[in-house]
């Protein structure tokens, strides 16, 4: 009797969940399954009779020098962006949380600091193309203050392009870190700092012994999420450099896009996308484990 009731409860729960489960299956599982299946065929979409070829596309991709460049650039792009997001986000959050500044100053800074987050990536790309133009305001400021001798082609110089897109990504990505850190900082009990003061701890000691340990769960979560998001960045790169000059800003996302929509090699592009999916899945798994451990 009790078992039958339990079955009914379980069936009712699945009944309520079924619209979501159907949506997840149609919008997530099915496309992912199709892309994985595509990656195992010689070519799809442009080929009416695709043939199963196993892991051939994966072997081709792993041997492609452009893929190696994309992996290298993506690693640099992600690492530099995430580290900068962390330090800037934490720094600005601490500034906004300090008791040393009057309230109106903090409100002003909060508004200014959060501005990049309000702009869509397309607007950010257009804005920074203008700013970093050889005749743009960035060069003007640097030349007029004597930092550089002559205007630089920030986005078009092979030696500077990756640095330039990292700079733009840092600018548009730090506010989310900042807001999350600020929320974390505001959740730290003031009593901890008071007790530390009584024990004679200075500012630096308080930062390393109270602030950082208290923020640790948020920092780890944010780092994992930011790595996943940054490694998927496409629009910003596509709209500023298109992966060039040469292959200096080619990321996994632009590499995959070009395979699909420039070369119409949808199966090879699917294989590349699956590689990105696996990397993201590992990070997502780490994130979920971390969240569970927190709970």
Partner 1 sequence: MATLGVAALAAGCGASGGGASEGGDVTIEFMQWWEPELPDGEFAALIEQFEEENPGIDVELLSGPYASIKDQVIAGSASGTMPDVLGLDGAWVHDFATQGSIADLSAAMSDAGYDDSQLAAQVQVDGSTRMIPVVNFAYPMFVNNELLAEAGVEVPTTRSEFMAAAQAVTDSGSGAAGFIAALGLEKPNGINIDIMPWTWASGGTMLSDEGGPAVNNEDVTSTVDFIKQMWDAGVIAPGGLTMAEQDKVEEFTNERVAMMVSSLAHINLIRENSPDLDFSVVPLPVEDGYTGESGVRYASWGIGMSANSEHPEESWKLIEFLMSEGANGQLSALANGFPGNANVTPDFTESDPLFEDAFTIWEAGYPVSEFTGLPLADELMRVFDEELQQVLAEDKPVDEALGNIQTEWEGIF
Query: Applying CB under 8 A, which part among 32-40, 94-102, 203-211, 221-229 lies near partner 1?
Result: 32-40
Binding mask 151-170 for partner 1 (x = CB under 8 A): x-x-xxxx--x---------
Least distance to partner 1, CB of residue 74, Å: 14
Long-range contacts at 92-100 (CB < 8 A, ≥ 24 apart): 92/174, 92/178, 93/177, 93/178, 93/179, 93/181, 93/182, 93/184, 93/185, 94/181, 94/185, 94/211, 96/178, 96/182, 97/182, 97/185, 97/186
Helix (H, G, I), strand (E, B) or coil at 52: strand
- Phi, psi of 168, deg, nearest 5: -65, -45
Alpha-carbon 73 to chain mean position: 14
Check: CB of residue 99 under 8 Å from CB of residue 188: no
Least distance to partner 1, CB of residue 110, Å: 32
Query: Applying CB under 8 A, which part among 26-34, 98-106, 108-116, 214-222 lies near partner 1?
Result: 26-34
Q: How far apart are CA 77 and CA 217, in angstroms?
A: 24
Least distance to partner 1, CB of residue 67, Å: 15
Residue 106 or 129: the one with the smaller Cβ distance to partner 1 is 129
Judged by CB under 8 A, does residue 140 bind partner 1? Answer: no
Least distance to partner 1, CB of residue 244, Å: 4
Distances (CA, A) of 149 to 129, 141, 154, 238, 291: 21, 11, 14, 29, 50
Judged by CB under 8 A, does residue 266 bind partner 1? Answer: yes
Buried b (16+ CB within 10 A) or exposed e, 4-20: eeeeeeeeeeeeeeeee
Q: How far apart are CA 214 and CA 181, in angstroms?
A: 11
DSSP-assigned letter for residue 50: -
Residue 211 or 233: the one with the smaller Cβ distance to partner 1 is 233
Binding mask 173-202 for partner 1 (x = CB under 8 A): ------------------------------
Least distance to partner 1, CB of residue 129, Å: 8
Least distance to partner 1, CB of residue 84, Å: 22
DSSP letter string over 148-209? SSS---TTTSTTTHHHHHHHHHHHHHHHHHHHHHHHHHHTS-HHHHHHHHHTT--HHHHIII
Residue 35 or 93: the one with the smaller Cβ distance to partner 1 is 35
Least distance to partner 1, CB of residue 70, Å: 13
One of 10, 18, 46, 120 touching partner 1 (CB under 8 A): 46
One of 42, 97, 133, 214 touching partner 1 (CB under 8 A): 133
Least distance to partner 1, CB of residue 288, Å: 19
The residues in 226-265 that bind partner 1, with binding defined as CB under 8 A, are: 238-247, 256-258, 260-264
Q: Which residues form the interface with partner 1 (CB under 8 A)?
A: 30-32, 34-35, 38, 44-46, 48, 129, 133-135, 151, 153, 155-158, 161, 238-247, 256-258, 260-264, 266, 269-270, 273-274, 276-277
């Amino acid at each position: 009797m009790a078992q039958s009731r339990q079955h009914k409860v379980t069936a009712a729960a699945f009944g309520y969940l079924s619209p979501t489960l159907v949506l997840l299956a149609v919008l997530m599982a099915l496309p992912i399954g199709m892309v994985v299946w595509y990656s195992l065929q010689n070519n799809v979409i442009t080929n009416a009779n695709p043939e199963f070829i196993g892991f051939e596309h994966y072997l081709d991709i792993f041997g492609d020098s452009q893929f190696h460049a994309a992996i290298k650039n993506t690693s640099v792009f992600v690492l530099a962006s995430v580290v900068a997001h962390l330090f800037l986000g934490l720094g600005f959050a601490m500034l906004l949380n300090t008791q040393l500044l009057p309230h109106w100053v903090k409100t002003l800074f909060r508004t200014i600091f959060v501005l990049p987050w309000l702009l869509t990536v397309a607007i950010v790309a257009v804005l920074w193309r203008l700013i970093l133009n050889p005749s743009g305001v960035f060069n003007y400021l640097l030349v007029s203050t004597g930092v550089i001798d002559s205007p630089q082609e920030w986005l078009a110089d092979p030696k500077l392009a990756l640095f330039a897109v990292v700079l733009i990504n840092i600018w548009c990505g730090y506010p989310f870190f900042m807001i999350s850190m600020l929320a974390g900082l505001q959740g730290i009990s003031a009593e901890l700092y008071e007790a530390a003061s009584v024990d004679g701890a200075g500012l630096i000691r308080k930062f390393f012994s109270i602030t950082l340990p208290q923020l640790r769960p948020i920092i780890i979560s944010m780092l994992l999420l930011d790595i996943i998001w940054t490694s998927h960045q496409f629009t910003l790169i596509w709209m500023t450099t298109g992966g060039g000059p040469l292959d200096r800003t080619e990321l996994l996302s632009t590499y995959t896009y070009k395979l699909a929509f420039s070369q119409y090699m949808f199966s090879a592009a699917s294989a590349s996308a699956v590689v990105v999916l696996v990397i993201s899945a590992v990070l997502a798994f780490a994130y979920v484990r971390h969240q569970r451990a927190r709970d």
